[in-house]
Amino acid sequence: MAATLRLEVATPEHLLLKEQVTQAEVPGLQGALGVLPEHSPLLSELGCGTLTYVLENGQKKRMAICGGYVEVGPDFIRVLANRAEAADDIDVKRAGEALQRANERLLHPTPELDVARALNAMHRAQSRLDSAARR
Q: Beta strand 15-28 with 5-10: parallel, antiparallel or unpaired? A: antiparallel
Q: Is 28 exposed, middle or buried (0-12, 13-18, 19+ CB in 10 A)?
A: middle
Q: What's the pLDDT score for residue 8?
A: 98
Phi and psi angles of residue 9, each rounded to the nearest 5 degrees, phi first: -125, 125
Quick: pLDDT tens for 108-132: 988 998 988 888 889 889 888 988 8
Range of the domain at 63: 5-87
pLDDT of 1 higher than 90: no
Q: Name the pTM for this structure.
A: 0.85
Which of 111, 66, 118 minimizes the C-alpha distance to 90?
A: 66
Statement to judge: residues 76 and 17 lie in one domain: yes
Phi and psi angles of residue 32, each rounded to the nearest 5 degrees, phi first: -70, 140
- Between residues 77 and 104, which one has the greater pLDDT? 77
Statement to judge: residues 27 and 73 lie in one domain: yes
Statement to judge: residues 34 and 82 lie in one domain: yes
The alpha carbon torsion through 88, 45, 67, 110 (nearest 10 deg) reads -140
C-alpha to C-alpha distance for 68 and 87, rounded to whole angstroms: 18
Average pLDDT, the chain: 92
Number of domains in the chain: 2
CB 6 within 8 A of CB 31: no
Statement to judge: residues 77 and 99 lie in one domain: no
Residue 96 parent element (H or E): helix 92-107
30: β partners: none
The CATH number that applies at residue 99 is 1.20.5
The alpha carbon torsion through 1, 68, 11, 41 (nearest 10 deg) reads 20
